[in-house]
A and B are shown apart, each in its own frame.
Chain A
Amino acid sequence: MSDSSKNPKILSDKVIDLLVSTTLQKNGVNIDKAKKQLSDEQKKMFKELVEDLSKQVDAFVKKPPVNKKESK
């Protein structure tokens, strides 16, 4: 098995960045206009949400949460 699971970045940031940029551009999204839609309160909430999800993903990838000990 490869050790890819030990690496938190499975795809390069550039590929993902390109995917997001292209998708937004293709659909004619104005980033500056989109930024203004978020209030400071919402930004704070999203920041916490993303940090929380990052921690959960990290924990999941680094250590499988289920640990059973069997004896027979």
Chain B
Amino acid sequence: MKTILYIIQKEFLQVFRNKSMLPIIFVVPIVQLVILVNAATFEMKHIRISVVDLDLSGTSRKLTSKFQGSPFYQVQSTSFSYREAEDEMKQGKVDMILQIPAGFEKRLVKESHAKVQFVVNAINGQTAGLVNAYSTMILFDYNRELVMENANPAQMAGLRNIQTDYSYWYNPKLNYKTYMVPGILVLLITIIGLLLSGMNIVREKEIGTIEQINVTPIKKIQFIAGKLIPFWIIGLFELAFGLTVGKLLFNIPMEGSLGLIFMSASVYLFVILSFGLLISTITNTQQQAMLVSFFFMVVFILMSGLFTAIESMPEWAQNLDRLNPVMYFIKIMRMVLLKGSTFADISHHFWSLVIYAVVIISIAIRRYRKVA
């Protein structure tokens, strides 16, 4: 035990003597939170549309004004040629074309049904889906208005009407910042944890001090504990710091128990640090360690559900994602912070992390050799 303390003391001395460490611990989280949270948003505001109104009737103008009146849309241009509108889309000036054909009003009155066309730029499928859904909703709304206007009261009585009302749970204002902050915090401690732990042992290999340690009677487990504990403490501290910044800057909700967050974070950090340790046992230079870490980090983060919904991944990817520790912890953070989930709600994710931790540290310990 005393031996471990000597290693921890040495690691802390080295970490804080390294001039780039303090900025990494204190400045990077703030910068990341402020930039990423504000930038990485899915909010759909200012969808630029081009209206091709070939009908020029009262009804078509009313439809156009429906779009204009919505906070999500911004009528970028109006023209009488579809070709012109299409050119604008190619140039990236508009996201959607609304085409109202000639005879729209006439047909609506005479035949009681008419058609309009939406053309949506679907380079980003997710955005396109949303744009489409919003547009359909506006059209549907307008449609209902028309029905009400034209129907006589006697008919109305017999018409059953289902009205849809929306209420968004857990994030009533649909504020993406509160959704992003917990995820970004996970990103943050993952990067710090994985890079610091992975690079640290490899650095000892590079400068040759690892040999000096390997000739001492120190036990493998003591060395590994001494190496991991300092970064574990720094990681937990980092999370506390990030949560404070998130509360102060973005006023993120903290519905659930912070104790539960830190309990899960303890296990999660253990997984990440063991992963770093494992990487350091299979690499010989800091450069190699960095590359391998980045490879895993990119895959883990892109598949973590931070930016894209896991539910919309293909099934094989979702199965593969069970090996992704980042995914579990992001889920836990969001569930506990936003929904106020209790241990019973997150227990599946929590135990998955525990199993993960046990497996990874066992492999890492086996791979770490005092004797070559």
Partners in one complex: no
